[in-house]
Amino acid sequence: MTSVPESAAHSAGAADHDGSTTVLHGVGVGRAGVVGPVVQVAAAPVVPAEEPGTAPDQVDAVQARVTAAFDAVSAGLRAQADAATGAAVEVLGATAQMADDKALRKQTAQRIASGSGPVAALDESVGGFATMFEQAGGYLAERVTDLRSVRDRVAARILGVPEPGVPALARPSVVVGRDLAPADTATLDVSHVLAIVTELGGPTSHTAIIAGQLGIPCVVRVGGATALADGTVVAVDAAAGTVEVGPAPEVAQGFARRAEVASRLAEDHAPGATADGHGVLLLANIGTAEDAERAAAQAVEGSGLFRTEVLFLDRETAPTREEQAATYARALRAFGDRKVVIRTLDAGADKPLKFATQPDEENPALGVRGYRLVRTVPDVVTAQLEALGDARRETGLEPWVMAPMIATPGEAREFAASARAQGLTKVGVMVEIPAAALRADAILREVDFVSIGSNDLAQYTMATDRLRGELADLIDLWQPAVLDLVAATAAAGQRVGKDVGVCGESAADPLMAVVLTGLGVTSLSMAPVAVPAVRYTVKAHTLDQARAVARAALAADDAPASRAAALAALAPGVADALAL
């Protein structure tokens, strides 16, 4: 992925007009550029203020329209579920069931019969059920999201406007929306998505990470993007963080040249190493067993981050121990004798889960998230470790297991004991809270390895919400304070001879990768699409040269200066070759 901060530091959300074209600015994720037509993700419709009531002689006709709308939504969702894979099947199936719900349809019909307009009738019925479900709590409360999704879709049908969510894509398109919900990304037809552009979100938000995972160029925080008409041809440049309306033909040619360089770099399958043979493992970030199989087919040395929460997203209840064990075993088998680091559930904050998230947290990013779930849903944490132990026994392959959001050596000790009790022998934790980085020696005494989550480490070091794109300059991964904490952690690892990896977005930046290598980081884990450029820059430097690049970055006083200093210290020709 690109050096996010660079593009963010310009003017996320602004537009330039040079007379012939309009260029919208945001924060880019990835390095690719594409040209294609816009398809807008429709927003949820509101009840029209001027909707008339239903006159007695219109009741039958209006009710027939509403029934047809319910039927069409249900059929559409079922068709989508049939064509979907993974978590999307359950999400879509559950929502379709809600559209068939007899009580919901009956109450809506009764309201129409007593004179309400159709959308108002639907809205009131759904509102009534939602309140009832929320008061009942438990399973019913969890269905409220599905209920609202049905409301939005049926209302859109009644009003004759597009259904909210990503429409079925007939041709390769640039998907544009205010933001994409997890359910939207779960149902994306990847073969037809050229790029994703959103008005909200930040470079390390859910949408950006999923896009990176799928190798789809993405620009977030693009002000004015939702005003682009469907079919408008745009050039999306993830490296520059721009969306150009009506680009000249040369723009596509430039993108094609960039793609050629990328594919040339992709021909090198050598293990990650500096020019003088100091090894740095190049690993893939994955979120599903399918990701594992796709990534394992590429030139990577394993996986440094399996975000297991993807398996839990959009579920009413946690997946069973058996289902989890089967998924982990599949991921382990995909990589065979290569290293696979499986992270335990990291729910909460930007990754809410229906059955594990505290509904009343004022500051969810500072609340019960990551390993802290052991305080509220210990059974979920235990079942996952049991499933990992099962996968180990079943495959005979050793997973590396790590916990997210560890703040103290005591938490690391407790997690390590629980994991070892399941027969797991490679146990680590993530360093993504400044407290853990500052006390990395003590943390490392408790575990076999650590992995730096630079996205959260930047969020907590800079006290900046990673979802707020307008603060992207503060959460810049080149902030010297963030680099200091990475350096402290890497140094602790070297002192005790234990692995210190990086699995946040820093690892995917080919320039930052040289800095991390120079700091003594032993593995870099990233979206597979980012590996070739990182392999190239690491290989273009000796370890001593990488150390000099790291020293230059650390000596700067702010993020742009830090990046510029690293760039200036690169071996000759490297920056030009990659257009860094």
Q: In angstroms, what is the minimal distance from the CB of 487 to ligand PEP?
A: 16
Q: Which does 465 bind (CB under 5 to 8 A by kind): Mg ion, ligand PEP, none?
A: none
Say which residue the tokens 């503060």 belong to.
Answer: 474
Q: Which does 202 bind (CB under 5 to 8 A by kind): ligand PEP, Mg ion, none?
A: none
Instruction: Note whether 219 and 239 are within 8 A (CB).
Output: no
Instruction: Note whether 413 and 446 are within 8 A (CB).
Output: yes
Residue choice 143, 206, 221, 307 for contact with ligand PEP (CB under 6 A): 307
Of residues 432-471, those binding ligand PEP (CB under 6 A): 432, 453-456
d(CA 323, CA 320) in angstroms, rounded, equals: 5
- Residue 471 tokens, joined: 């603060």
Nearer Cβ to ligand PEP (36/203) = 203
Nearer Cβ to ligand PEP (265/353) = 353
Residue 545 touches ligand PEP, criterion: CB under 6 A: no
The stretch near Mg ion (CB under 5 A) out of 188-196, 421-429, 430-438, 531-539 is 430-438
Q: Which does 454 bind (CB under 5 to 8 A by kind): ligand PEP, Mg ion, none?
A: ligand PEP
**CA angle at 514 for the pair 509 and 518, rounded to the nearest 5°:** 140
Nearer Cβ to Mg ion (146/456) = 456
- Residue 556 tokens, joined: 């700067």
Give the number of residues in contact with ligand PEP, rule: CB under 6 A: 11
Of residues 431-460, those binding Mg ion (CB under 5 A): 432, 453, 456
Which one, of 175, 300, 272, lies nearest residue 230 by Cα? 175
Residue 431 pairs in a beta bridge with 452
Q: In angstroms, what is the minimal distance from the CB of 241 to Mg ion?
A: 22
Q: In angstroms, what is the minimal distance from the CB of 102 to ligand PEP?
A: 41
d(CA 112, CA 97) in angstroms, rounded, equals: 22
Nearer Cβ to ligand PEP (122/406) = 406
216 by DSSP, 3-state: which?
Answer: coil
Q: Which does 307 bind (CB under 5 to 8 A by kind): ligand PEP, Mg ion, none?
A: ligand PEP
Nearer Cβ to ligand PEP (177/404) = 404
d(CA 332, CA 302) in angstroms, rounded, equals: 10
Of residues 188-227, those binding ligand PEP (CB under 6 A): 204
Q: Which does 503 bind (CB under 5 to 8 A by kind): Mg ion, ligand PEP, none?
A: ligand PEP
Nearer Cβ to ligand PEP (187/205) = 205
Marked catalytic residue, from 25, 218, 503, 541: 503
Instruction: Note whether 199 and 222 are within 8 A (CB).
Output: yes
Q: Which does 7 bind (CB under 5 to 8 A by kind): Mg ion, ligand PEP, none?
A: none
Nearer Cβ to ligand PEP (157/339) = 339
Of residues 378-397, those binding ligand PEP (CB under 6 A): none
Q: In angstroms, what is the minimal distance from the CB of 205 to ligand PEP?
A: 9
Give the number of residues in contact with Mg ion, rule: CB under 5 A: 3
Q: Going residue by residue from 491 to 510, which x/- string records binding to ligand PEP, judged by CB under 6 A?
A: ------------xx------
Q: In angstroms, what is the minimal distance from the CB of 458 to ligand PEP?
A: 8
Beta strand pairing call for 449-452 and 426-431? parallel
Nearer Cβ to Mg ion (6/456) = 456
- Residue 126 tokens, joined: 């759904």
Q: In angstroms, what is the minimal distance from the CB of 103 to Mg ion?
A: 41
Instruction: Note whether 178 and 43 are within 8 A (CB).
Output: yes
Q: Where are the alpha helices (DSSP H) in 300-369?
A: 309-312, 321-335
Marked catalytic residue, from 25, 206, 218, 541: 206
The DSSP secondary structure of 359-413, one letter per residue, reads: TT-SSGGGSS-GGGGGGT-HHHHHHHHHHHHHHHHHH----EEEESS--SHHHHH
Kind and range of the H or E run holding 185 = helix 182-186
The stretch near Mg ion (CB under 5 A) out of 258-266, 384-392, 425-433, 465-473 is 425-433
Which one, of 7, 525, 570, lies nearest residue 272 by Cα? 525
266 by DSSP, 3-state: which?
Answer: coil
**Amino acid occupying residue 133:** F
d(CA 342, CA 72) in angstroms, rounded, equals: 41
d(CA 125, CA 134) in angstroms, rounded, equals: 14
Q: In angstroms, what is the minimal distance from the CB of 205 to Mg ion?
A: 12
Q: In angstroms, what is the minimal distance from the CB of 412 to Mg ion?
A: 16
d(CA 420, CA 426) in angstroms, rounded, equals: 8
Residue 52 pairs in a beta bridge with none
Q: How far is residue 81 from each of residues 41, 89, 381, measured CA to CA in Å?
A: 19, 5, 29
Q: In angstroms, what is the minimal distance from the CB of 356 to Mg ion?
A: 16
* Catalytic residue status for 206: yes
Q: Which does 205 bind (CB under 5 to 8 A by kind): Mg ion, ligand PEP, none?
A: none
d(CA 540, CA 339) in angstroms, rounded, equals: 25
Q: In angstroms, what is the minimal distance from the CB of 435 to Mg ion?
A: 14
Beta strand pairing call for 233-237 and 242-245? antiparallel
Q: Going residue by residue from 136 to 175, which x/- string records binding to ligand PEP, judged by CB under 6 A?
A: ----------------------------------------
Nearer Cβ to ligand PEP (244/346) = 346
Q: Which does 344 bind (CB under 5 to 8 A by kind): ligand PEP, Mg ion, none?
A: none
Of residues 82-141, those binding ligand PEP (CB under 6 A): none
Nearer Cβ to Mg ion (302/453) = 453
Say which residue the tokens 């959009």 belong to.
Answer: 314
Kind and range of the H or E run holding 303 = strand 302-307
* Catalytic residue status for 541: no
Burial class (CB in 10 A: 0-12, 13-18, 19+), 456: buried
Q: Catalytic positions, please?
A: 206, 503
Residues lying near Mg ion in the complex (CB under 5 A) are found at 432, 453, 456
Residues lying near ligand PEP in the complex (CB under 6 A) are found at 204, 305, 307, 346, 432, 453-456, 503-504
